[in-house]
Amino acid sequence: MNIEIRKIKKLDKEAFVEFSLALTKFNKSQHDKHYPDFPKLLKVRKRRVEEAFDKIDQSPHKLILMAFKDGQPVGYIRFFIYDRKLSQGCLDEFFLKKEARGRGIGKKLLNAATQWMREQNIARMITSVYSWNTPTREFYEREGFLEYALAYEKVIPPSETKLMKK
């Protein structure tokens, strides 16, 4: 098994967009009743992901690394400097195809992101994970992340006036 971790290139756009949308589908699958217009959400998300990809080389504070197994893309990690004065970075997105999980590839991606942060003199890296995503939470904890905050979400149903207009 040959694993390569490298900075994303223009030719990786299609795989990156596919992986990012797969991550969105996975994350939203636990909340699908709260997303009645999921196709619209995916369309907007795809546009934003494509825009982010096209702008990634414009900022020295953001980076996307992609993992390849035997020459085929299997995942990515997207991270950035959150606050240089406070020496904080953010792991924004992290995705591996199912068949690539449990093989040390995620650890290699995370190590590469951590090394880049270190080279940028970043001392702390934050990330978030859904409370229901136990495997990812356990992975982060094994890799030295500590739980330090909780986030809550409230779904606000549309008003009856808005429902009547449809």
CA atoms within 13 A on the CB side of 130: 13
Rounded Cα distance, 9 and 121, in Å: 25
Please give the chain's pLDDT, 166 residues, in tens: 799 999 999 899 999 999 999 988 887 777 666 666 777 888 888 999 898 888 877 788 889 999 999 999 999 999 999 999 999 999 999 999 999 999 999 999 999 999 999 999 999 999 999 888 999 999 999 999 999 888 887 878 777 655 555 5
Q: Please write down the long-range contacts of 125-131, taking CB distance under 8 Å and 24 or more positions apart.
A: 125/79, 125/88, 125/89, 125/90, 125/91, 126/82, 126/88, 126/89, 126/90, 126/91, 127/90, 127/91, 127/92, 127/94, 130/27, 130/30
The CATH number of the domain covering residues in 3-165: 3.40.630.30
pTM of this structure? 0.83
